[in-house]
Structure 1
Amino acid sequence: MTARIGVVTFPGSLDDRDAARAVHLAGAAAIPLWHADADLYGVDGVILPGGFSYGDYLRAGAIARFSAVMDSIVRAAGDGLPVLGICNGFQVLCEAHLLPGALTRNQHLHFRNRDQGLRIENNTTAWTVGFQPRQEVVIPVKNGEGCYMADERTLDELEAEGRVVARYIRGNPNGSLHDIAAISNAAGNVVGIMPHPEHAVEVLTGPSIDGLGIFTSVLAHLGARV
């Protein structure tokens, strides 16, 4: 049976269609999920896409966290549903306390848009099982509030528990502590990533196809789980 991956659209989402296309290219069915609808329609995983949900008013992701769909996602994530937050989606996951820490203004106070080197530090999460340990990839970043911040205790826990999923290499685009580009929850089913893997899935448009591994990984995870 074809896996069904839900892609949430919030007011202000920009990359929901890109995420849906990446899901399709990976070999799954992309199921549109509307922010005001609490029903997840039995999907096998969920993606919170990039963009500017609710215009990033108050704080990036802070209003989207209270959407009806997020209540359902929080509950389902607790039961093991794979959830991926990309850029603004990462911010929403932190605001919803599915992931620790916060994404703040880039230290240099400029929007950063470039192809970015990453190193996969944890290839055991639901979204990274298809990568090799410490594999280096190139995936675009495009953010103004991508600086990952957390207190020292949280950072120590993330490092000790192997929950830093990816790190920036060959330059840190936003000043994130410990060069953190992606983290996971303790169970490994929830991952937040600041770069945009959905923009690195086709040779024609991406700097690489390295991002496709994020989407094929969750299908491998779902297959292994079944």
Structure 2
Amino acid sequence: MLFLGIIPARYASTRFPGKPLAMIHGRPMIQHVYERASRVVPEVWVATDDERIAKAVEQFGGKVVMTGRYHRSGTERCEEALQLISLRLNRHFDVVINIQGDEPFIQERQLQQIMECFDDETTAIATLVKRIDNKDDLFNPNIPKVIVGRQGQALYFSRSVIPYLRDVPSDEWITHKLWLKHIGLYAYRSEVLKTITQLSPAPPELAESLEQLRWLWHGYSIRVAETDIENMAVDTPEDLERINQMKFRDNE
């Protein structure tokens, strides 16, 4: 099975313009993500619409493909990149992994877990979750929660706390260890990626502003693997400053 890792990267960002090029321990953030992903995924490319990002990737020896500026999501950018890369290499890829470009310390085991989901030939889309262990995450609407079925399939994603714990004071909820949060790493079979980018928006997606609800609403199944690794995303300049104050080994 051939896997293709794609790191969607755009320069424009409301909260943090130029984020992919932000320096972390002397290297641009996009380089950290690329090098870590390349340890596990045999073919990794950055997909961008900005020449500055493309130039930076080429300077550290990475592979980059230029995509359009019209994409509404990283998923759409991945779909165009898949077409362009497949043509350029004259190769068919079975699975595309959508790797977040703002998580410079993504762990190899997380990538391995999402790839292992496709050992099951029925898996169409896969993602990761982690058990919530603190109140801040539990009640933070920017951290989507996930309900997972008995067979490891996502049933619903929400910015609200789901499931709701009836007859228990909310300040005691965290002790029950019921909740899972979504880790924004996706993988899709290539033919599925092509179709989900053509789907019409869904009512729950518009309500929650969560793209994956469109796929569920249209009948696609999302396989879930649970990780115990905490991700460290860079969303703001303050996040960047905090991470630069930390010490990491390359294998962490």
With normalisation by structure 2, the TM-score equals 0.29
Give 1 or 2: higher helix fraction.
Answer: 2
Computing the radius of gyration from Cα coordinates, the structure with the larger value is 2
With normalisation by structure 1, the TM-score equals 0.31
